[in-house]
Copies of this chain bind each other. A is one copy, B any other.
Amino acid sequence: MVKQMPSDPLSTTFAALADPTRRAILQRLTRGETSVTELARPFDMTMPAISKHLKVLERSHLITRGREAQWRPCKLEAGPLKEVAEWVGGYRKFWEESLDRLDEYLKQLQKKEKTNARKK
């Protein structure tokens, strides 16, 4: 048995999202529940490789799987993504500030150009 590193829920979510295939799977699930076979179709991957990704998403509560023995449809669970949005939302003013600084700089540049144009 592989011993898992203890991890907080937000770290588990971020680790699960740090893979383009897993994000593509979530994207596919926004169109509705689907089977593993259907999910695997657009990816050039073996079924065990896809299953491994699904297990990571399931452990991080980003998907759930139906209980039917034959066809266990995967379903998107957006709860952990709300936590991500709330966490990252706390930094909004920092990226807006850098955009504001750029905006201010461009305005100053424009003003200077106008003044120079009038002088001509």
- Residues of chain A touching chain B, judged by Cβ–Cβ distance below 8 Å, are 8, 10-12, 14-15, 17-20, 23, 26, 30, 76, 78-79, 81-82, 84-85, 87-92, 94-95, 97-98
Interface of A is mostly: helix
Copies in the complex: 2
- Which of B11, B79, B82 is A18 in contact with, Cβ under 8 Å? B11
- Which of B19, B78, B82, B88 is A81 in contact with, Cβ under 8 Å? B88
- Which of B85, B91, B95 is A89 in contact with, Cβ under 8 Å? B85
Q: Report A82 CB to chain B, min CB distance, Å.
A: 4
B85 with A98: CB separation less than 8 A: no
A88 with B88: CB separation less than 8 A: yes
Are A20 and B11 CB-contacts (below 8 A) given A79-B95, A91-B78, A94-B78?
yes
B18 with A14: CB separation less than 8 A: yes
In the bound complex, how far is the Cα of B95 from the Cα of A95, in angstroms?
Answer: 24
